[in-house]
Amino acid sequence: MVHYKWVALSNTTMGVFMATINQTILLIALPDIFRGIGLNPFVAGNFQYLLWILLGFNIVTATLLLTFGRLSDMFGRIKLFNMGFAIFTAGSIMLYFTPWQGPPAAQYMIVGRLIQGFGAAFLFSNSAAILTDAFPSRERGTALGINSIAAIGGSFIGIILGGVLAVYDWRYVFLVSVPVGALGTVWSYLKLKDTSKRDRTQKIDYIGNVLFAGGLTLILVGIIYGLLPYGNSTMGWQNPLVLASFAIGAASMIAFPFVEMKVKFPMFRMSLFRIRAFSMGNIAGLLSAMARGGVMIMLIILLQGIYLPLKGYDFAVTPFWAGIYMVPLTAGFMLMSPIGGKLSDKYGAKFLATVGMVIVLGSFYALTTLPYLFYYPWFAIMLFTMGVGNGMFAAPNAAAIMNSVPAETRGASSGMRATLMNAGMTVSIGLFFTVVIVALSSGLPSAFSTSLTNAGAPELTKYFNNIPPTAAMFSAFLGINPVSTIIGSLSPAVASHISSSTLTLLTSKTWFPHAIAPAFMSALHIAFFIGMLLAGIAAATSYMRGGIYIHEDVVTPQGNEKDDGEVERLKAGEYVHSPEGSEEEATREGERTSGSDTVD
């Protein structure tokens, strides 16, 4: 008979894998989806649909994870995990049957993506907690390592899968989750059992939920509308609604910890941040997500909009090949993550996670040396190395965080960890987009002027300079050559002065990528340097986490569990973290001391 822990591992891994694939599966498939629903990305107002379809999923998961994690501590992890499978599957079916065309279809898809995100939040917030309940501490690194392959590896695989499926039919991008979700729903309902500790006297912290979820939502929505043009500005960071969104959201997030320290039944125990392994691990995870989240989109833009067209690929097929060219990143992560998890069970997270982030830092530096017509094998090595670094960090860091907390707080702790990771990725996308768009704003006019002069059409400079940087970047992102659209919008008097040879050159698959490449690469290098900085701070934070730290409940000789955080196994010379946050040395094996054990 299969041991329950393997049932829990396989089921939670399936759920997380399905959800994280859907975080990124649209990155490559968006061009086909836009063509499928007849949505023109150059029409004013349609850009917001692209951002909401792309980021709405992440906003919902990020803002609800902590709430759902806390609810699982109160009402049971398995019940809510099962619900997540069912809701996610329903959202996928809804998206597959998307009706209508144009903006109504886009609005329908946004709702479907939000429903998917709602279900994914139940899956993300409970998977690590279910595994921590099911596995002993000496095996959690391995279990969470496998789960981390699903969590982060799924986001890499989603890029490839979206490109492959969209070639046949964009609706398959959503259909692929339905059989997996249906199987997972039935399987989790029949096989998973709730072994968590629950305090049924707890009450829901409504004030804390509103402050945290509401504040984070306002900040993340502010990021979306900050990327949209506002008035005569290329971006919306001066939009009063964006500024108000950030101000109110930041005020809510600042108030949240003070409220939580005062209410009788807090949504999240802020005292857990006194545990160095928990606080430093979560900060390192947030910074890692901020370094990782935006870079994938930037590399896809580079491949789809510049590198592949210049290598002779038609714009219609660049999304598919961009996914294939990103495979080394996935391979490096999937190779290293289980190894990192296994090693962390024996040696702890400090060295592995820190070295992993240093490797990521080095990979970012290597990417800053890239020209836009690079030698692909070197690019593949850079991606593979970055994947190895992320794999070395992810599983040990997750295991260290989950090992450090009491059993009755694992749901909320898992929710906090996942919240910070998802919020970090969303913030990262906004940060990298902003950096690139701001740099393009200053670099594109001169780039177009030079390219049009060399093409023999300097009179078109003023028309091309009217292209917003966002439109230029998302043309590259969607694998669309906008030159034909621009030429088609010219008056007959202007168009008649363009020679046929010049027109052929301008509408070729290589002119537009060549024109924007210098400005885009300068912007991209700035983004990579920011990634280096984030990875470096993550490495330093990871190093400050201290030694191995495991919080276990004690089983006494009479078989009764204690609820005071006593350690089940104590070894000679181990250090114990007491509930008040002080550290004292345990004397010898078998001695019972209140708290959690820490090994340097």
Q: Which of 48-57, 106-115, 278-287 has the lowest mean pLDDT?
A: 48-57
Distance CA 477, CA 303 (A): 9
Res 216: pLDDT = 80
Residue 505 belongs to a domain: no
Res 565: pLDDT = 38
Res 520: pLDDT = 85
Domain C-terminal end among 264, 282, 308: 264
Residue 110 belongs to a domain: yes
Q: Which of 116-120, 138-142, 486-490, 571-575 has the lowest mean pLDDT?
A: 571-575
User: How would DSSP label each residue in 110-154?
Assistant: HHHHHHHHHHHHHHHHHHHHHHHHHS-HHHHHHHHHHHHIIIIIH
The answer to whether residues 128 and 212 belong to one domain is no
The answer to whether residues 285 and 420 belong to one domain is yes
Quick check: 154 pLDDT over 60? Answer: yes
Q: Is the pLDDT higher at 445 or at 112?
A: 112
Res 201: pLDDT = 67
Quick check: 386 pLDDT over 90? Answer: yes
Res 503: pLDDT = 82
Nearest to 159 by CA among 27, 49, 353: 27
Residue 51 belongs to a domain: yes
Q: Which domain holds residue 580?
A: 552-600
The stretch 394-420 carries a mean pLDDT of: 76
Check residue 287 and give left, alpha or beta (phi > 0: left; psi -120 to 50: alpha): alpha
Cβ atoms of 333 and 156 within 8 Å: the answer is yes
Q: Can you give the three-state secondary structure of 203-247, one letter per residue?
A: CCCHHHHHHHHHHHHHHHHHHHHHCCCECCECCCCCCHHHHHHHH
Q: What are phi and psi of 107, to 5 degrees?
A: -65, -40
Question: Into how many domains does the chain fold?
Answer: 3
Res 41: pLDDT = 66
Pull the structure tokens for residue 478.
Answer: 């969607």
The alpha helices in 455-575, defined as continuous H runs, are: 461-464, 469-477, 483-488, 492-495, 500-506, 511-543
Full-model pTM:
0.76
Q: Which of 381-385, 482-486, 546-550 has the lowest mean pLDDT?
A: 546-550
Residue 506 belongs to a domain: no
Res 383: pLDDT = 94
Task: Give the strands of the sheet with 575-577, arranged side by side.
Answer: 548-550, 596-599, 575-577, 583-585
Res 558: pLDDT = 39
Residue 12 belongs to a domain: yes
Res 251: pLDDT = 93
SS3 at position 254: helix
Quick check: 513 pLDDT over 60? Answer: yes
Res 357: pLDDT = 94
Count the helices and strands in the chain (H runs, E runs).
23, 4
Distance CA 577, CA 595 (A): 5
Q: Is the pLDDT higher at 94 or at 437?
A: 94
Cβ atoms of 367 and 390 within 8 Å: the answer is no
Res 361: pLDDT = 95
Quick check: 376 pLDDT over 90? Answer: yes
Residue 237 belongs to a domain: yes
Residue 572 host element (H or E):
none
Res 205: pLDDT = 78
Confidence of residue 9 (pLDDT cuts 50, 70, 90): confident
The stretch 558-568 carries a mean pLDDT of: 38
The answer to whether residues 303 and 258 belong to one domain is no
Residue 246 belongs to a domain: yes
The answer to whether residues 392 and 337 belong to one domain is yes
The answer to whether residues 535 and 558 belong to one domain is no
The stretch 22-27 carries a mean pLDDT of: 78
Res 557: pLDDT = 40
Strand partners, 233: 230
Res 294: pLDDT = 78
Domain C-terminal end among 223, 240, 264: 264
The answer to whether residues 271 and 247 belong to one domain is no
Quick check: 554 pLDDT over 70? Answer: no
The stretch 185-195 carries a mean pLDDT of: 78
The answer to whether residues 50 and 85 belong to one domain is yes
The answer to whether residues 281 and 249 belong to one domain is no
The answer to whether residues 148 and 138 belong to one domain is yes
Most confident of 140-154, 188-202, 396-410: 396-410
The answer to whether residues 239 and 330 belong to one domain is no
Nearest to 391 by CA among 157, 159, 152: 152
Res 575: pLDDT = 37
The stretch 182-207 carries a mean pLDDT of: 75
The answer to whether residues 51 and 25 belong to one domain is yes
Quick check: 537 pLDDT over 90? Answer: yes
At 460-498, the pLDDT tens digits run 887 777 777 777 777 766 666 677 777 777 777 777 777
The answer to whether residues 8 and 153 belong to one domain is yes
Cβ atoms of 593 and 577 within 8 Å: the answer is no
Residue 464 belongs to a domain: no
Domain C-terminal end among 215, 238, 264: 264
Q: Is the pLDDT higher at 314 or at 288?
A: 288
Res 593: pLDDT = 32
Q: Is the pLDDT higher at 508 or at 587?
A: 508
Quick check: 380 pLDDT over 80? Answer: yes
Q: Is the pLDDT higher at 19 or at 593?
A: 19
CATH number for position 163:
1.20.1250.20
For the chain, percent helix, then strand, then coil, each to nearest 5?
75, 5, 25
The stretch 202-218 carries a mean pLDDT of: 81
Quick check: 538 pLDDT over 90? Answer: yes
At 331-345, the pLDDT tens digits run 888 888 778 877 877
